[in-house]
Structure 1
Amino acid sequence: MKTRTTLRLQMLLLGLCLLSALQCPAQTQPAKLAPVYPGKTWSSADAPEKYGWSPEKLQQARAYSGTIATEAVMIVHKGVILDQWGATTKRLNTHSIRKSFISALYGIAVEAGQISVDDTLEKLDIDDRAPSLTADEKQATVGDLLKARSGVYHPAAYETASMKKKRPARGAHPRGAFWYYNNWDFNALGGIYEKVAKQNVFDAFRQHIAAPLQMEDFQVPADTKFVNEPASDFPAYVFRMSARDMARFGLLYLRNGKWADKQILSEKWVRESVAAYSKTGGSGGYGYLWWVAVDGRHYPGVKLPDGSYSARGAGGHCILILPEYDLVIVHRVNTDIPNKVTSAQLGKLLKLILDAKPTDFK
C-alpha cells in the first residue's frame, strides 16, 4: 500500500513538472547585434566612455603622437570611429601596405578559379630579365611568393639599400625553405595577377575592393603608379591612400572578408592569409603578405592578443587588426618628406591607445 502511494506521488510530481515546463516560456539568448559597417561616410562614437574607453588615456596617446612624426591616427571599434586625429583624409604613400592589397586580390582570383596557390612559375610561364630564372627557381609556387619564401633572389624594382644588402645569392635556398622579405616576390605577384586576371592591378583593386567598400578618397589613376627599373621586368605597384580608406580595408579583414551583405573575400582566404608561416623575430610571423602577432610579439613594448595582425609600410605606416577587441587602428606618417616613426615609437603609441581600452574588453 505504501509503495502504491509513493508511486502515485512520484507520478503526480512528474506531471506537475511537465505542466510547468509547458506553461513557462523557454529562456532565449539575447539577440546578437549585427556587425556595423560604414556607409558612404563613417559613423563616430558620441563619446569613447560610452564604449568603456578612457578619454583621458586616449588624450595621453594623442599627446604622445604629437611628439613623434605621426600624421594621422584612426581607431575603429565595433565598426565606428572611436577616436581620430590628424590628416585622416590625406592620401599618402602606403609603401609596403601595397602588398596586403595584392594579397586581397589574390584571394578573389583564387576563389574565382583564375589561379591556385599551388601553381608554379613554370606552369604560369614566368621568367625575368637576364640572368633569367633557373629551372629550380621556376618550381616556386604562388603560395611561396605570397609567403616570401620563393627562393628566387633576382634583383627587383623598388628595393631599399637594406633589402639589396640582405638579399641572398641566387640559388642560396630552395623554394619554401627560407623566409626573406623579397621585393621580387611581391612585384612578380603583381605581374602574375595581371596575366591571369587580365586586368591592371589598380583597376582590379578599384573594382573589387575600393568600390564595394565605398572608399571615400582613393582614385585611379591619381593615387597609383608603377615603378619600373632596369633590374627586372616586374614593376612595383605603388598606392596612395587616406587613413579613413585604409581603415575600411582593415575592417574588411576584421569582418573575415565580409562587407555588409557581400562576402568579398572568403573566410578561408582571410584565415590562411593571417596564419604565421615564418618566424620574423620581434614582429612575430609572416602570412600571405601580412605580418602576424606570435605569442604577443608584434611591436616593441606592447603585447597584443592572439590573432592580431597588421599591414605595414616603411616609415611607420600601419593597419593593425585586433579581432579579440573588434578593433582596427590605422597609423600614418607623411613620408613624402623625410619623416619616420620607428617601430619602438609606434609600439609605445599602440600601448598608450590600448591602455585606454575597457578593462573587460570584448
Structure 2
Amino acid sequence: MRKLNQLKFIAITLLFLTTLNSCKVGRFVVYNFADINDHKKFPARNIETGTNTFLFSATTKGKVPKDLYINEKSYPFEQYLKDNKTVAFLIIQNDTIQYEKYWEKYDETSIVPSFSMAKSITSILIGCAIDDKLIQSVNEPITNYIPELKQNGFEKVTIEHLLQMTSGLKFNEGYTNPFGDVATFYYGTNLRKAISKMKLKSEPGKEFEYLSGNTQLLGLVLERALKDKTITSYLEEKIWIPLEMEFDASWSLDKKKNGLEKTFCCINARARDYAKIGRLYLNKGKWNGKQIVSEDWVMQSTKIDTTKGSVGYYQYQWWLPTQTGDFMAQGILGQYIYVHPEKNLVIVRLGKNEGKADWWEILSSLGHAY
C-alpha cells in the first residue's frame, strides 16, 4: 500500500509538472533560472553561415597576461578565469588570437546563449533596417509599427527611447519572480500578446532604466518593418553571412509556430563568432572593406550621451564601461563582447555565471593594458 501511494504521488507530481511546463509559470518552475544550457530548452530559428568563412589569425607568441591585479592583489590569470566559472575566454588584437582557452568541457564548437548580448545585436539590426529604409529614423513613434499600443498611451515613445532605455516603460525586471514581466517574456509563449498589454509609468525621455521590455518592443518594431522576413533571416542576411561566421547559430522563440524572436536575450552561438560582432564595430561597421551597417550608426551607438534622460554608460543597447572609448555587449551570466578601438582589441568572455569577479573592471583593465 505504501509503495502504491508513493507511485501515485510520483504520477501526480509528474502530471502537475507536465501541465505546468506548458505555461509560463510551469517553465519557470521546471527550468528555475536562466542557465548556460537554455538554448536547448526553447524553440528556435536556425541561422546559417554562408559559403565563405573568416578565420582570425593565430600565434604561438600571443600577449597573454600572467596575472590579474584586482584591488591591489595578484591572481594567476588562467586560474582566476577558471575559478570564476568562465567557459571561454578570447583575446584578439590586430585580427590575431592572442589567447583562446576553454573550460568545463567547452571548446570552440560549444554553443553558449548570448543572453542580453542579443540586445546589442538587435540594435545593429535596427541600424541595418534604417540603412535599408525599412525604418525611417529613430525619431519615429513606435506606434507607427505597433499601432495597438496607441490605446495604452505610447504615441510619444520613439524608437530612440527604446534604444536608450528611456521609454518610461512599466516593467518588472526582477529575475526571481515567476509572475513578473521578465518571466512572461523569457518563459511565456505569446510575446505579441504580452506586448499589447504593456503600460507606461512615466513620461518618455526623462529617465534611464534598464528594462528588457524595451528591447523586445524593438524586436516587434523590427518584425513589423521587415514584413515578409523573420528577424532571424534578416540577421542571417545582414550579419551572419556577410561576417563569414564560422558556425551556424540560432535565435530562441516564444513558441514554435509563428514564434517571435526573444530579441532581448536569446541568440545561441560560439565564442569566435561573437568576437566577429566586436570586430564589426571595431571597424566602424565595415567588414573587410564592405559597409555592413553605417559608420554613423556605430558612432551613434558608442558615443557618450547624457541628454534626454540618457546616461553616460549606456548607448543604443551597448555598455560604455570607462567612458574612454571602449564599449561592450553584456549578458546576465557574465557573457561579454568587449571592444577597445584604440588598441584594436576584442575580448570575449563566456561563463556559467559571473563568479565573484567584477568583469567590468577586469575587461577594461585588460583592454587598457594591452
The TM-score normalised by the length of structure 1 is 0.70
Letter in 2 for 1:225: S
Gap change, CA 1:356 and 1:235, over 3 Å in 2: closer
Between the two proteins, the alignment pairs up a number of residues equal to 282
Match of 1:326 among 326, 329, 344: 344
Deviates more, 1:190-199 or 1:95-104: 190-199
Any idea what the Cα deviations from partners look like across 1:216-249, whole Å, max 9, x if unmatched?
1233xxx221136xxxx97623211111000011
Alignment of 1:165-314 (within 5 A): 170-198=199-227, 199-219=229-249, 223-227=250-254, 236-237=262-263, 238-278=266-306, 285-295=313-323, 306-314=324-332
- Partner in structure 2 of residue 65 of structure 1: 81
Q: Does 1:350 align with 2:363?
A: yes
Letter in 2 for 1:239: I
Provide the aligned C-alpha RMSD in A. Answer: 3.0
- Partner in structure 2 of residue 106 of structure 1: 126
Gap change, CA 1:126 and 1:235, over 3 Å in 2: farther
Q: Highest CA radius of gyration, 1 or 2?
A: 1
- C-alpha distance in structure 2 between counterparts of 1:172 and 1:121, whole Å: 17
Match of 1:127 among 148, 164, 168: 148
Instruction: Say if 2:338 and 2:347, in contact at 8 Å, map to a contact too.
Output: yes
Q: Does 1:81 align with 2:92?
A: no
Letter in 1 for 2:54: K
Letter in 1 for 2:262: A
Gap change, CA 1:343 and 1:202, over 3 Å in 2: farther
Q: Does 1:341 align with 2:357?
A: no
Instruction: Say if 1:254 and 1:322, in contact at 8 Å, map to a contact too.
Output: yes
Q: Give aligned-pair identity as a percent.
A: 26
Any idea what the Cα deviations from partners look like across 1:183-224, whole Å, max 9, x if unmatched?
2211011111011122211111111101111111233xxx22
- Partner in structure 2 of residue 144 of structure 1: 161
Letter in 2 for 1:64: Y
**2:84 aligns to what SS in structure 1?**
coil
- Partner in structure 2 of residue 117 of structure 1: 138
Any idea what the Cα deviations from partners look like across 1:87-141, whole Å, max 9, x if unmatched?
333111110011111111111111111111011023334335xxx8533x22100
- C-alpha distance in structure 1 between counterparts of 2:77 and 2:305, whole Å: 33
Greater RCO (CA < 8 Å, at least 6 residues apart) = 2
- C-alpha distance in structure 1 between counterparts of 2:147 and 2:261, whole Å: 14
- C-alpha distance in structure 2 between counterparts of 1:350 and 1:294, whole Å: 10
Compute the displacement of 1:42 (Å): 2.2
Compute the displacement of 1:312 (Å): 0.2
**1:319 aligns to what SS in structure 2?**
strand
- C-alpha distance in structure 1 between counterparts of 2:206 and 2:355, whole Å: 30
- Partner in structure 1 of residue 5 of structure 2: none
Instruction: Say if 1:57 and 1:353, in contact at 8 Å, map to a contact too.
Output: no
- C-alpha distance in structure 1 between counterparts of 2:234 and 2:223, whole Å: 9
- Partner in structure 2 of residue 17 of structure 1: none
Compute the displacement of 1:148 (Å): 1.0
Letter in 1 for 2:119: K
Gaps of 5+ in 2: 1-51, 69-74, 183-197
Match of 1:44 among 49, 58, 79: 58
Compute the displacement of 1:46 (Å): 3.5
Compute the displacement of 1:164 (Å): 5.4
Letter in 2 for 1:180: E
Gaps of 5+ in 1: 1-37, 296-305, 335-339, 358-362
**2:225 aligns to what SS in structure 1?**
helix
- C-alpha distance in structure 2 between counterparts of 1:308 and 1:141, whole Å: 27
Instruction: Say if 1:89 and 1:244, in contact at 8 Å, map to a contact too.
Output: no
